[in-house]
Amino acid sequence: MRRSSHTVPEKPLELNRSVISTQPTMSDSKLNIVILAAGKGTRMNSALPKVLHALAGKPLLRHVIDCAKQLDPAKIIVVYGHGGDAVPRNLAGQPVLCVQQAEQLGTGHAVQQAIPHLDLDATTLILLGDVPLISAQSCRRLLQQANDGFALLTVVKADPTGYGRIVRNATGEVQAIVEHKDATEQQRQIKEVNTGIMAIANAHLSLWLKQLKNDNSQREYYLTDIVGMAVQQGVRVAAVQAEDESEVSGVNAKQDLAGLERVYQMRYATRLMHAGVTLLDPFRIDVRGELTVGRDVEIDVGCVFIGKVVVGDNVRIGAYCVIQEAEIGAGSTIAPFTHIEKAKIAVDCRIGPYARLRPGTELADSAHVGNFVELKNAQVGTGSKINHLSYVGDATVGKQVNIGAGTITCNYDGVNKSRTVIGDRAFIGSDTQLIAPVTVGADATIGAGSTITKDAPANELTLSRSRQTSIAGWKRPQKKCDV
């Protein structure tokens, strides 16, 4: 839904043929989709184009495109304007055509930019790049009513201020859409408003767009004026009311964005609970991607899931964990304040609290990673334990290994990274530094406080310590007094 606030000089409707194709492959369907994404978003107070601001970790525009894809259209055309090529760059690889609206002269002018790329025998569905929660179901309902050539998606709002009113005649037929600034006091009492989402046969659309004028208070070419043209020509304008106001709510300011974020997250939380997940507080979870869950999963408060995350049966996730692009096997427990990124965790593992698993980490069954332990590109075998205050990076850890507190794999020499290999059932004493590349053999024991620079043999004790010495008469330095 658009609320125009700037004034432009009157000038004729012009075509802008600047087109960027990010991926031209299309289907054979007779549906075209035009997404209007040219607005600056002044009230966002940001250099970033409004449609690229993120909701649930994904740009607003991407949400709309994902909805459009579900409808199997022949073409998806994105009309962009403010922000230069930021929008086309963000959509690289998406099945869309990006068409520039160099001057923002209204919604009618924006759709006009797409006309040269539409199929004459198709129907065009017009969506808005800043209305991210629109559903494919509502779009299908709208398209079913567009058989006669024209259908609008409307919504009833308790406070319709700023929105175009749906004007009907005595029999309930749609006669016009009147913008708020141009409406009479009587028309402003109407609660049913235009969402800006509509479906129109292209044969009508191309003709009506050519007839648009900008004789209104904003000096813009309103797309909504085509409703009056349809009525004059005897084309029925069907109106389909949205079932949920939030799905047609637009983002004009950061407050709107925050409000829709909570709507999105609550919807996702509801779906998770319907799938059997126990959420200790459904108002305090953030899913910024795709979360796939098994049975009897429990998630505590404040957890954030980013990208594609897969969680197996009977997993327990403690409070304030951040989990990104990860797989967590059945029966595993993730204790509070754990960060996991691009890691794979097998069944019955225990992680955290305050652990960090970085990309490339893989834990086998029943592995334990405890508090303040960081792993990076490390493979940890079945039943192995790294429970306290350790860094294990670029390492292969065998089965049933015990790594003591304060152990570090020194994997970087300032230029190259090297690997540490620890054999099955090895015991690494506390405060050990393993200087890679180095191998610790199976069943080896490393004495606490050792710095290991050479391979440690299997089945033997290896340690590196100087003899303990006490210096008689030594005194601790004293602080000098100021004179």
Nearest to 213 by CA among 223, 203, 221: 221
Please count the helices (runs of H) and the strands (runs of E) in the chain. 7, 38
How is residue 115 written in tokens?
């006309």
Residue of 284, 237, 213 whose CA lies nearest to 11:
213
Separation of alpha carbons 72 and 76, rounded Å: 10
Q: CB of 461 within 8 A of CB of 477?
A: no
**First-residue to last-residue Cα distance in the chain:** 75
CA 132/CA 388 separation, integer angstroms: 44
- Active-site choice (109, 117, 180, 388): 388
d(CA 86, CA 21): 14
Tell me how far apart the alpha carbons of residues 135 and 125 are, in angstroms, rounded to a whole number: 13
Q: Which DSSP symbol is given to 456?
A: B
Residue 72 CB-density burial (10 A; 0-12 exposed, 13-18 middle, 19+ buried): exposed
Please indicate whether residue 53 is annotated as part of the active site.
no
Bond preceding residue 437 cis, omega within 30 of 0: yes
Reading the block at residue 212, the tokens are 């648009």
Q: How many residues does the chain have?
A: 483
Instruction: Give the integer Cα–Cα distance in Å for 43 and 32.
Output: 31
Distance CA 373, CA 365 (A): 18
Would you call the peptide bond into 12 cis, given omega within 30 degrees of 0 as the criterion? no
- The 3-state secondary structure of 311-371 reads ECCCCEECCCCEEECCEECCCCEECCCCEEECCEECCCCEECCCCEECCCCEECCCCEEEE
Nearest Cα to 52, choosing from 25, 92, 19, 24? 92
Please list the helix, strand and coil fractions of the chain in percent, rounded to the nearest 5, in that order: 20, 30, 50
Neighbouring C-alpha atoms within 13 Å toward the C-beta of 470:
2
Q: How far apart are CA 397 and CA 73, in angstroms?
A: 51
Q: Are 59 and 53 in contact, with CB atoms under 8 Å apart?
A: yes
CB 437 within 8 A of CB 420: yes
DSSP 118: S
Q: Which residues are catalytic?
A: 388
